[in-house]
Structure 1
């Protein structure tokens, strides 16, 4: 019996070591996948929005600008984005381990958010609550709340200023509102954290030439 107990103890310790090693390897892969831009710390304190690059990052209807960010500008505690959504477009159903604030500058945002309290038992997003926010309105998304923001207007664009905490952002994307939390797909680094401003400016120049 003592030998058996000893083997069980060794097996338990080995299992814990394997789990720790797997976590360290995952953390290491994240650190290698996400790196600051070479000139991130040299950004002027004042920037002109009209001179900053925008891109859709492969998402039709989106125009995204990172005004201040971790990768682009060495921000540590928050990021600020400017996003425009064409009619009928919006975000995927997703969550992230940070708080988020939207300030609607133009158009009207329609958003759905799962009640966090309703998620604990089912392992899925809880009951959804929805609302709309017109220009000069603001709304917030709590930590890890599953949500989606869309522009449902048939002709007008939606422009929002977005502020997030704890960058760089790690986003978990859900195929549907019934997708279990453990089946959500992690997107990290997020598309706009994979390219630096100078690369975007070069791409903008190429796109202009193609037009």
Structure 2
């Protein structure tokens, strides 16, 4: 959970200040390095790790300390960060290498990957399909694992005879389930559309959800 909070802190502090400068200040530029930093994210797999943590806390409460030992937690976090950082590096490289023919005007709040692809002056089919393929692998698999965890949690809660126990379980999972629903809903709509068919205005609105609102909820 502390690593999730650290990620959200990094996420918001790298995005919100630059966005406020661009919205309110006379200077609406961003450096190349700053744009690269804004293209990375490791949120989805960490949400999956948190789902497994809640599954263990509710479905295997008596064995929680043994199962969720520091060694296992460290391995899951390293694996999650490693996979997402690797995919981010690959996608950033593809995107930033696209020729833009001196078109450096980005119609967005920040350096969002679909917006960067749209200003390229060449065929972007390969990049768009790469984004779609990596999104399928990472986002949908992590979502499936999260839903599986919550499926077992729902069964365990329904079997509880104590109303107090049910309320406690709901309190443990409620906020995280809300974040999971909003995050995956917006990300799937944004990235898992071949050819990035989402309109510019929809893209801007949805970007605010998973870059500002979701970390704030966390």
Shorter-chain TM-score tier: under 0.3
Q: Which has the higher strand share?
A: 1
- RCO greater where, 1 or 2, for CA within 8 Å and sep 6 or more? 2
TM-score, normalised by the number of residues in structure 1:
0.24
Larger radius of gyration between Structure 1 and Structure 2: 1
